[in-house]
Amino acid sequence: MAMALSSVQATLFSGASMLRRSDTLRTFTFCLPFSSMTSSVTTDNLSRKKWRRPVVSVLEFGGVKISREDVVRDDPTNNVPDTIFSKLGLQLHRRDQHPLGILKNAIYDYFDSNYANKFNKFDDLCPIVSVKENFDDVLVPEDHVSRSYNDTYYIDPQTVLRCHTSAHQAELLRRGYTHFLVTGDVYRRDSIDSTHYPVFHQMEGFRVFVPDEWEPSGMDATSYAAADLKKCLEGLARHLFGAVEMRWVDTYFPFTNPSFELEIYFNEKWLEVLGCGVTEQEILKRNGQPNNVAWAFGLGLERLAMVLFDIPDIRLFWSSDERFTSQFSKGQLGVKFKPFSKYPPCYKDMSFWISESFTENNLCEVVRSVAGDLVEEVKLIDNFTNKKGMTSHCYRIAYRSMERSLTDEEINDLQWKVRELAENKLKVTLR
């Protein structure tokens, strides 16, 4: 549908999405055809090198105490590093002064005013979920790439850090909820650039209809739900962005049929902002709603917030620098972020012969375990295979702090540690 183009402007924004990863270097997508599973449990005894210690070591979710030892375990079936454990419980989306909290509240306002407070809201559900909840309950096939150790953080073979808020759909249905919004932090092993971070935030929406609702329309249940879903989300996009040009793209998710993505035209680019669809009947049948129909959506909060607030780098959401935090206040949607002076990046290249089990996500975990948020991007810049069949990769690592200038010495030190750890943990041969 063509609507007037918004005056809101976006900044640097790559086309890659948090909801669906489509470029070839990124493996995690619910939309990819099911490629064979790359289960490389080899990686992350990384966590054993304790470069950085988590701030808290015992967390509490709804009365349940979780200690570091429960989450970061010295076991090949565990791939959660300390850097990830340290993010558990921070719940940026529950801070009213934080861009993610401000955005969450603005979405709540939209639902409260359009649906007379009918939607139940959850923003404190524990991010540690079972494989059943994260994958089986939403019909993710056994061989789907998102189940791999390369893409998902496993605590043990049956327990993961949720990789999407869809992990809560089935349980909430079983508990009798029919209209709900679930906001939470989600975790994915991934490559590194200004729009990808291994922890980000999603909001899930879910609405069930009973036959009395669609029958008078003369439409079939699925078409009715799909039409209602699109109307709801178009309204939400206008509520957040003002008049904006948007389009629907057909796609695939295991849990919905039909499935769609909503794209918004922004700074001369189509930007994907959410995935959604009409819930698979099987999910409703298994969870106490056999005669009904439902729609669901999952939206990436960082992606929307980067556009709404002009935030150029996803690491900034985690910054406690006052020059960032002081720019946002409760209820103020779309105040434009004014970058405090941009510090220069420093690039370091690293070439090596890869091993059979090498993956880019594992390399990124190594780099993060050493450099934390000082790493801005890890990019493959050269890739060749010699006559003997050995493959060489060259990665360019960009180091940059959001908050200060880095010294040469500091960066060289980081780079040496990255090289050493890559050699030891990833079994690559440096060139």
Give me the torsion for CA of 249, 168, 143, 43, rounded to 10°. Answer: 110
Applying CB under 6 A, the residues found at the interface with ligand DAH are: 19-20, 30, 164, 166, 204, 253, 255-256, 275-277, 296-298
For residues 31 and 219, which CB has a smaller minimum distance to ligand DAH in the complex? 31
Minimum CB distance to ligand DAH, residue 341 (Å): 35
Nearest residue (CB) to ligand DAH, 19 versus 418 = 19
The CA dihedral of 133, 136, 138, 142, to the nearest 10 degrees, is: 140
* Closer residue to ligand DAH (CB): 169 or 327: 169
Is there a contact between 132 and 248 (Cβ–Cβ < 8 Å)? no
Two structure tokens written together for 12:
């640097």
Taking the least distance from each CB to ligand DAH, the nearer of 174 and 330 is 174
In whole angstroms, how close is the CB of 238 to ligand DAH at the nearest point?
Answer: 20
Q: To the nearest whole angstrom, how small is the minimum distance from the Cβ of residue 277 to ligand DAH?
A: 5
3-state secondary structure of 282: helix
Detail the DSSP E strand segments found in 54-193. 58-61, 64-67, 120-122, 128-130, 154-156, 159-161, 179-187
181 or 402, CB closer to ligand DAH? 181
Minimum CB separation of residue 274 from ligand DAH in Å reads 7
C-alpha span between 160 and 146 (Å, rounded) = 12
CB of 255 to ligand DAH, least distance (A): 6
Measured from the Cβ of residue 422, the count of other Cβ atoms closer than 10 Å reads: 22
Nearer of residues 307 and 414 to ligand DAH, judged by Cβ = 307
DSSP 378-423: EEEEEEEE-TTS-EEEEEEEEE--SSSPPPHHHHHHHHHHHHHHHH
Question: Residue 283, CB half-sphere, CA atoms under 13 Å: how many?
Answer: 32
Closest residue to ligand DAH: CB criterion: 298
